[in-house]
Structure 1
Amino acid sequence: MRPAVNGALPRSRSYDARRRQEAAEESRKRVLAQSRELFLAKGYGRTTVAAIAHAAGVSKESVYKAFGGKPGLVKAIYEQSMLGAGSTPAQDRSDRVQTTVTDPSELMEQFGRFVAEVSPLGSPVYLLIRDAAANGDPDMAALLRDVDDERYQRMLHNARQVLARGFLRPDLTEEEVADVMFMSTSAELYETLVLKRGWSAERYGRLLARTLAANLLPDS
């Protein structure tokens, strides 16, 4: 082994560490991708950690170590879904829009676009959690409560930001605004219109934008 120069680690050691990190990240991506595919195809109860590990080309033990089992995997793919499809997390982009857009109607349209982007990723996983909870799984029941609470807190955050800019009807409280947003972004609505009625995500997003505008913006 080459000695350190001026107290620095040899370049080969740094390179090896980076390669290990990259390999671990690639493994994590494969596990999450296979988890999503298998959970959504077979359901929560019929999907095993062993099947996910085999499909991802990793050991079952490594999956347990990284995610703690099936509940951790479902939580991870849900959180991944909520990042959206862009290189920057959807919530960060939404925050930026809320503080920079100057036209209230355009802001509602932007909200609709974010919902159209995130819902096809997140709603099927939410519905997986809901159905597993309804079938009596206590871990999924706890996760369902957590994701509902997190989504409501996010809507409350949005409500406070937009109200502070003076865009919305003055008679609305932040809780009322958050409730409208919470209802409008529900996976159940996505399930009804997109999964059952065959709407496109884009059409769904446009409806959401009109719904938010009609219920939150002052009459023009």
Structure 2
Amino acid sequence: MADAVKRPYDASRRRAGARRTRRQVLEAARRRFVEGGYADTTVTALAADAGVSPETVYATFGSKAGVLKALFDVTVVGDDEPVGLVDREVVRRIRDEPDARLALARYAAFVAEVNPRLAPVQLLIESAAPGDPAIAALAAAVARQRLHGMSLLAAKLADQGALAAGVSADEARDVLWTTNSAQVFDLLVNQRGWPLPRYQRWLASTWEALLLGD
């Protein structure tokens, strides 16, 4: 009998399955965490909603905190493609824009696009942090990332000579960091009912008024 021909191992199907499982768990986590709270959500419940076993959740994410960290990462960029935020076209267009007003207008549009999906996750992380050391560490890392990003944008404006007289790069960083926060978004859009276009215009006009020179 002739030897059976061995087919080459195709890992693409396995990778696609793992990616699909990851998406299912993260979709379940978004619903469970945001609606029911992080502390009250169990890995067993997440697994049941996603149609997988708890062991699969642990194997994929390591822990419940790992699920929340992955949910944050995916939510920031809007998908699970292996491309970091700084390498995305939308960020490059802001970073490379020589006109400060246009750069801030583009950034306002980006924040208004991202915050509807990101703010609930950020607020969830901050609310869960006091009761879980792993989430407290995640909250601290998120805060550092935000501050670093605003430091880079403020430094860009300073290097361009765009900041108003008396406005330092540190002050610009703090204004950007405060006004683009999940808390401000929640107050204006969710609690006061501002439409997103109004929120976007407010961001752009506030930054221009507080930060830029004539």
Regarding TM over 0.5, the answer is yes
Aligned residue number for residue 76 of structure 2: 82
CA–CA separation in structure 2 for the residues paired with 1:165 and 1:93? 21
Aligned residue number for residue 7 of structure 1: none
Gaps of at least 5 residues in structure 1 are 4-9
1:2 to 5, 26, 39: 5
Bigger Cα displacement from structure 2, 200-209 vs 86-95: 86-95
Aligned residue number for residue 146 of structure 1: 141
Deviating beyond 3 angstroms after TM superposition, the runs of 4 or more aligned structure 1 residues are 84-91
2:52 to 37, 40, 58: 58
Within-5 A mapping of 1:26-175: 26-84=20-78, 91=86, 92-134=88-130, 136-169=131-164, 171-175=166-170
Higher relative contact order (CA 8 A, sep 6+): 1
Aligned identity (percent) is: 37
CA–CA separation in structure 2 for the residues paired with 1:215 and 1:41? 36
Instruction: Name the aligned partner's letter for residue 96 of structure 1.
Output: R
Q: State the Cα deviation string for residues 94-142 of structure 1 (Å, max 9, x = none).
A: 43223443432222211110110111111101111111224x3332222
Instruction: Name the aligned partner's letter for residue 203 of structure 1.
Output: R
Contact 1:123–1:187 (Cα < 8 Å) also in 2: yes
Contact 1:85–1:117 (Cα < 8 Å) also in 2: no
CA–CA separation in structure 2 for the residues paired with 1:125 and 1:100? 29
TM-score, structure 1 length as denominator?
0.86
TM-score, structure 2 length as denominator?
0.88
Contact 1:50–1:60 (Cα < 8 Å) also in 2: yes
CA–CA separation in structure 1 for the residues paired with 2:78 and 2:176? 18
Q: Structure 1 residues 218 and 85 mapped into 2: Cα distance closer, same or farther (>3 Å)?
A: farther
Instruction: Measure how far apart 1:181 and its partner are.
Output: 0.9
Gaps of at least 5 residues in structure 2 are none
